Amino acid sequence: MSVFDVLKKRGFVYQSTDETEIRELLDGERATVYVGYDPTAESLHAGNLVTIMMLAHLQRAGHRPIGLVGGGTALVGDPSGRTEMRKMLTPEQIDSNLAGIRNQLAQFIEFDDSDSGALIVNNADWLTKLNYIEFLRDIGRYFAVNQMIKAKGYAERLEREQGLSFIEFNYQILQAYDYLLLHQKYGCRLQMGGADQWGNIVAGCDLVRRVAGVGAHAITVELITTSTGEKMGKTAAGALWLSPERTPVYDFYQYWRNVDDRDIGRFAKILTFIDLDEIEELGRIEGKSVDEINAAKETLAVAITTLVHGEEAAMKARDSARAMFGGGGDLSNAPTTEIGLERLAGGISVVELLVETGLLPSRKEARRKIDEKGIYLNDGIVTDARRVLTNDDFAAGHAVLRVGKKSRHRLLAV
RNA sequence: GCAGGGGUGGUCGAGUGGUUAAUGGCACCGGGCUGUAAACCCGGCAGGCGACAGCCUUACGUAGGUUCGAAUCCUACCCCCUGCACCA
């Protein structure tokens, strides 16, 4: 099966330029393809996994992926969307972010010297060297303003009289230039990205065609949302990061372990390499027992977590989760706070500990949760806000504090 | 620069001198039902103290002022949006 069809079947293709030509390109000798990423943080997030997986599929099919980091554009600050200007970053920050992003991409694609070895590039390398006059003369001539303002994003902004800064307007041209440059330098002929990038991407296709006289292509993915309408990977705390420092592996695992029943198959297609046939079965809900559905979610969570954090970490996360919800079991991965024996001798209030362990943000909230019957000590409900912990509560040298069903904290007497 | 509109709790958004920690939605948290799902129901959602009846402190862009009393009125300043002007 053509890789392009693989992408289609897995749900990656929302819009594309001519399918026949893309197929031809991808079924032929090594092609070079690229995706752009923002260097605004030192870590990518779950949303980025979608295009990363596309790169990975293509590399597996023998093509060369390029991860382009928008360091140059980040130097300008991009006000796309209606929120404020994206914060401008220093070159140092961008470099360090780029290194972080490269490491994360390396989990999915090989950066070796082979023909299909991946590359990571920073558009600051060429954008910062541009000469305005030359750029206008050589590149600007290919852009027709009346065509540009018809682009969906721009047209909306103009209609709403919402203001469209010159920087934002130029963004498309810079991005198109990136494509051209990658084409000239690496023979890149396919760019992929989010559906919101469609206009920018096809502007690049046009530019390549006009300047180089070669067909260049585009594939965009739709924004992936959950069945409840949220952006995939969005949590109360913000984004679901790939970096374990920003999102602990356990939390990352739990996010996927708890997806809506209806999302199992869809997410598995996009975020794992599990066979399509297998996914078909995995994602089926009707007629399945509760255990089977839960097992499917576990499979999904393990697969994604393994890709991002490696097998060992994924297994640990799975085991911790099993222990947590299966009762008893292995608590070695639960967050832990050490309590001095001498302090314990005097007794410590549960309220105080709830705050100290970070389980709850304030003493007031702790009292409230006790009132709401949401606090447990060693699996026994705490009913009195004045409850004090003493040595007697530490069975084998430890005690477990719990808020609700999902957050636990281990207290270790030392 | 001129004119108009606006800045309210995580977010959206009411309120426009006085029972107000500030209606409501969303998000979030606890409980119930369950399957660590969805939907639904109940409760909570500034902080501190508490004998749980309450008490105290801090909050409506920032700083002052008027008033017995202000998120609400006045003054100055900051920021955002819209229009006009300036802009070669």
Residue A403 approaches strand B within 7 Å at CB: yes
Please list, residue by residue across A325-346, b when 16 or more beta carbons sit within 10 angstroms of its beta carbon and e when fewer do: eeeeeebebbeeeebeeeebee
ipTM of the complex as predicted? 0.84
Work out the percent of chain A whose per-residue pLDDT is above 70.
92
**Domain-located, residue A87:** yes
Residue A181 approaches strand B within 7 Å at CB: no
Check residues A399 and A324 and name the one with the higher pLDDT. Answer: A399
Which residue(s) pair with A191 in the sheet? Answer: A34, A218
pLDDT at res. A80: 45
Q: Give the separation between CA A94 and CA A89, rounded to whole angstroms.
A: 7
- Straight-line distance from CA A230 to C1' B28, in Å? 14
Examine the domain organization and report whether A294 and A384 are in the same domain.
no
Examine the domain organization and report whether A209 and A277 are in the same domain.
no
| 3-class secondary-structure state, position A261 | helix
- Straight-line distance from CA A364 to C1' B69, in Å? 30
Q: Which nucleotides of B are covered by protein (CB under 7 A)?
A: 27-31, 34-39, 43-52, 81-83
- Straight-line distance from CA A193 to C1' B41, in Å? 43
Examine the domain organization and report whether A119 and A41 are in the same domain.
yes
Residue A162 approaches strand B within 7 Å at CB: yes
- Straight-line distance from CA A152 to C1' B86, in Å? 32
| 3-class secondary-structure state, position A174 | helix
- Straight-line distance from CA A312 to C1' B8, in Å? 49
Note the pLDDT tens digit of each residue in A40-63: 888 999 999 999 999 999 999 999
Report the alpha-carbon angle A374-A258-A277, nearest 5: 160
pLDDT grade, residue A367 (50/70/90)? very high
Residue A225 approaches strand B within 7 Å at CB: no
| Residues contacting A360, CB < 8 A, separation 6+ | A354, A366, A369, A403
Residue A167 approaches strand B within 7 Å at CB: no
pLDDT at res. A400: 87
Q: Give the separation between CA A396 and CA A91, rounded to whole angstroms.
A: 53
Q: Give the separation between CA A256 and CA A253, rounded to whole angstroms.
A: 6
Residue A361 approaches strand B within 7 Å at CB: yes
Is residue A72's pLDDT more than 50? yes
**Domain-located, residue A405:** yes
Residue A231 approaches strand B within 7 Å at CB: no
Examine the domain organization and report whether A200 and A302 are in the same domain.
no
Examine the domain organization and report whether A204 and A315 are in the same domain.
no
Long-range contacts of A242-248 (CB under 8 A, 24+ apart): A242/A43, A242/A44, A242/A45, A242/A46, A242/A48, A242/A49, A242/A104, A242/A308, A243/A42, A243/A43, A243/A100, A243/A104, A244/A309, A244/A313, A245/A43, A246/A43
Examine the domain organization and report whether A41 and A174 are in the same domain.
yes
Examine the domain organization and report whether A378 and A245 are in the same domain.
no
Residue A137 approaches strand B within 7 Å at CB: no
Q: Looking at this protein, which amino acid is placed at residue A354?
A: L
Boundaries of domain holding A104: 3-221
Residue A290 approaches strand B within 7 Å at CB: yes
Asked whether the beta carbons of A70 and A120 are under 8 A apart, the reply is: no
Is residue A87's pLDDT more than 60? no
E strands, A145-233, are: 188-194, 217-221
Q: Give the separation between CA A401 and CA A337, rounded to whole angstroms.
A: 11
Domain C-terminal end among A173, A194, A221 = A221
B27 nearest neighbour residue (CA to C1'): A236
Asked whether the beta carbons of A67 and A37 are under 8 A apart, the reply is: yes
Residue A293 approaches strand B within 7 Å at CB: yes
Q: Domains in chain A: how many in total?
A: 3
Check residues A327 and A299 and name the one with the higher pLDDT. Answer: A299
Joined together, the tokens standing for residue A412 give 């270790």
Joined together, the tokens standing for residue A300 give 């999904």
Residue A145 approaches strand B within 7 Å at CB: no
**Domain-located, residue A34:** yes
**CATH number for A171:** 3.40.50.620
**CATH number for A363:** 3.10.290.10
pLDDT at res. A159: 60
Residue A236 approaches strand B within 7 Å at CB: yes
Asked whether the beta carbons of A47 and A56 are under 8 A apart, the reply is: no
Q: A409: part of which helix (H) or strand (E)? A: strand A407-413
**CATH number for A247:** 1.10.240.10
How far from A283 is each of A42, A51, A226, CA to CA, in Å? 33, 22, 14
**Domain-located, residue A228:** no
**Domain-located, residue A101:** yes
Domain C-terminal end among A267, A302, A326 = A326
**Domain-located, residue A119:** yes
Joined together, the tokens standing for residue A120 give 């990571």
pLDDT at res. A327: 62
The mean pLDDT of A322-331, rounded to a whole number, is 70
Examine the domain organization and report whether A79 and A216 are in the same domain.
yes
Pairing of strands A217-221, A15-16: antiparallel
Note the pLDDT tens digit of each residue in A169-219: 788 889 999 999 999 999 999 999 998 889 889 999 999 999 999 999 999
B47 nearest neighbour residue (CA to C1'): A364
Residue written as tokens 């919101």? A196
Residue A405 approaches strand B within 7 Å at CB: yes
Q: A119: part of which helix (H) or strand (E)? A: strand A119-122
pLDDT at res. A331: 64
Residue A356 approaches strand B within 7 Å at CB: no
Asked whether the beta carbons of A301 and A256 are under 8 A apart, the reply is: yes
Examine the domain organization and report whether A86 and A193 are in the same domain.
yes
- Straight-line distance from CA A362 to C1' B27, in Å? 20
E strands, A252-367, are: 336-339, 348-349
- Which residues from the 40-69 window of protein chain A have CB within 7 angstroms of nucleic acid chain B? none
Residue (of A354, A386, A382) closest to A370 by Cα position: A382
Residue A157 approaches strand B within 7 Å at CB: no
Residue (of A188, A169, A167) closest to A121 by Cα position: A188
Examine the domain organization and report whether A251 and A375 are in the same domain.
no
Domain C-terminal end among A306, A326, A346 = A326
Residue A259 approaches strand B within 7 Å at CB: yes
**Domain-located, residue A165:** yes
Is residue A35's pLDDT more than 80? yes
The mean pLDDT of A246-274, rounded to a whole number, is 93
Residue A374 approaches strand B within 7 Å at CB: yes
Helices (H) and strands (E) in chain A, counts: 19, 15
Examine the domain organization and report whether A112 and A183 are in the same domain.
yes
Mean of all residue pLDDT scores within chain A: 88
- Straight-line distance from CA A311 to C1' B34, in Å? 31
**Domain-located, residue A227:** no
Examine the domain organization and report whether A66 and A208 are in the same domain.
yes
Q: Give the separation between CA A71 and CA A44, rounded to whole angstroms.
A: 14
